């Protein structure tokens, strides 16, 4: 599939959509409503470097770039709805948002509640371990012990990974990843598990306290936009946009900026770096 074809498909999709009469209850009413309001409401949740606030209190991150570009290409404004992770799907189902763009991994369990687009990013799950264990942890099974405490963010796919790979370890769950990381830094947990690149970044920032025992990821993920199950036309619209941005290299360039470097870190204040709160 050529780049020219993908771009033509996306433009055609836009033209057909904007040319449709705005009937009250049609299958594409969810898209019609966005077009009528001119604003795309995006559910996001705090997670570095997906979404966070800079020194000026403005939202930045990979997801923020993606949502802004999607809205710009579609002729819409964008409104971000910061939401706690365990409430982000309920907010979508309650029609408080139009789409979730929050680094959400596609899983069979989530597919029972929401409809995912094709993948626009491929991250994974990694684990950072207390430096005191260096030289002792060589295989996954070395962490699968009742003596080990593993910290993680509740409600995320990482919880499932811990239960599958480290079923004997004690699982400590927290409201956000910053708390989970701090638990290890404080000596109250042996390891923290999170979506990439959080463990890698934390090991770079805290080399005296954390290290990565495994070069390979514990799990590879596919992240997609999430919409309501009935919003098939919206999914198709977003799929066309994702294909266009994959083909022109824009998504990879933005992913590499946020995930393969720390060039963006200077945009964060010390307080924001520690807490990473989207809402107070």
Question: What pTM did the predictor assign?
Answer: 0.67
Give the CATH number for residue 259: 3.40.190.10
Let me know whether 188 and 118 are in one domain: no
- 252 with 207, same domain? no
**For 2-30, what is the mean pLDDT?**
50
Residue-number span of the structural domain to which 134 is assigned: 124-220
Give the pLDDT confidence score for residue 187 in this predicted structure: 96
What confidence score (pLDDT) does residue 124 get?
86
Q: Is residue 266 part of a domain?
A: yes
Are 201 and 243 part of one and the same domain?
Answer: no
Residue 5, pLDDT > 70, answer: no
pLDDT for 185 = 97
Residue 20 has pLDDT above 50, yes or no: no
Work out the pLDDT band at 266, boundaries 50, 70, 90: confident
- Mean pLDDT across the stretch 104-109? 92
Most confident range, picked from 1-5, 152-156, 161-165, 263-267? 161-165
Same-domain pairing of 42 and 114: yes
Q: DSSP string of the chain?
A: --HHHHHHHHHHHHHHHHHS---SS-TTHHHHHHHHHTEEEEEE--BTTTBEE-TTS-EESHHHHHHHHHHHHHT-EEEEEE--GGGHHHHHHTTS-SEE-S-PBP-TTGGGTEEE-S-SB--EEEEEEEGGGTTT--SGGGG-STT-EEEEETTSHHHHHHHHH-TTSEEEEESSHHHHHHHHHTTS-SEEEEETTHHHHHHHH-TTTEE---SS-SEE--B--EEETT-HHHHHHHHHHHHHHHHTTHHHHHHHHHHS--GGGGGS-HHHHHH--S--
- Same-domain status, 117 and 232: yes
Give the number of domains in the chain.
Answer: 2
Measuring CA to CA, which residue among 126, 119, 169 is closest to residue 149?
Answer: 169
Task: Kindly state whether residues 209 and 262 are assigned to the same domain.
Answer: no
Same domain (yes/no): 100, 130: no
- Asked whether residue 160 is domain-assigned, the answer is yes
The last residue of a domain, from among 195, 220, 245 = 220
Residue 280 lies in a domain: no
pLDDT of 232 strictly over 50: yes
Residue 12 lies in a domain: yes
**Does residue 143 sit within a domain?**
yes
* Predicted pLDDT of residue 14: 54
What tokens were used for 111?
Answer: 């597919």
Tell the burial category of 119 from Cβ atoms under 10 Å away from its Cβ (0-12, 13-18, 19+): middle
Do 244 and 109 fall within a single domain? yes
Same domain? For 9 and 74 the reply is yes
Residue 184 has what pLDDT?
Answer: 97
pLDDT attached to residue 83: 95
pLDDT at residue 25 is higher than 50: no
Rg (CA), the chain: 20
Domain assignment present for 27:
yes
pLDDT (mean) for 253-259? 90
- Model pLDDT, residue 263: 84
11 and 109 within one domain: yes
Asked if residue 192 belongs to a domain, the reply is yes
Q: Give the residue-averaged pLDDT of 13-26.
A: 46
Residue 166 included in any domain? yes
pLDDT cut 90: percent of the chain above it: 68
Looking at the structure, do residues 31 and 104 belong to the same domain, yes or no? yes
My answer on whether 128 and 117 are in the same domain is no
Q: How confident is the model at residue 215 (pLDDT cuts 50, 70, 90)?
A: confident
Read off the pLDDT of residues 155-196 as tens digits, 9 standing for 90 and up.
888 999 999 999 999 999 999 889 999 999 999 999 999 988
170 or 3, higher pLDDT: 170
Res. 139: pLDDT tops 70: yes
């Amino acid at each position: 599939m050529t780049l020219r074809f993908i771009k033509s498909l996306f433009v055609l999709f836009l033209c057909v959509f904007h040319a449709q009469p705005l009937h009250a209850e049609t299958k594409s009413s969810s898209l019609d409503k966005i077009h009528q309001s001119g604003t795309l409401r995006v559910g996001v949740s705090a997670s570095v470097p997906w979404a966070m606030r800079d020194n000026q209190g403005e939202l930045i991150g990979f997801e923020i770039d993606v949502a802004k570009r999607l809205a710009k290409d579609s002729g819409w404004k964008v409104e971000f709805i910061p939401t706690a992770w365990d409430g982000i799907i309920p907010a979508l189902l309650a029609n408080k948002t139009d789409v979730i763009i929050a680094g959400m991994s596609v899983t069979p369990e989530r597919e029972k509640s929401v409809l995912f687009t094709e993948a626009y990013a491929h991250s994974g799950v990694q684990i950072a371990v207390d430096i005191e264990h260096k030289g002792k942890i060589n295989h996954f099974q070395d962490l699968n012990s009742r003596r080990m405490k593993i910290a993680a963010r509740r409600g995320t796919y990482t919880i499932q990974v811990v239960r599958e790979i480290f079923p004997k370890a004690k699982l400590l769950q927290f409201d956000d990843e910053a708390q989970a990381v701090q638990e290890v830094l404080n000596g109250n947990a042996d390891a923290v598990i999170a979506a990439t690149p959080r463990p890698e970044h934390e090991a770079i920032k805290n080399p005296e306290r954390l290290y990565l025992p495994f070069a390979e990821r514990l799990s590879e993920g596919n992240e997609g936009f999430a919409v309501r199950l009935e919003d098939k036309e919206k999914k198709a619209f977003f799929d066309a946009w994702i294909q266009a941005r994959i083909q022109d290299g824009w998504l990879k360039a933005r992913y590499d900026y946020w995930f393969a470097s720390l060039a963006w870190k200077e945009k964060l204040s010390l307080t924001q770096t520690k807490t990473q709160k989207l809402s107070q």
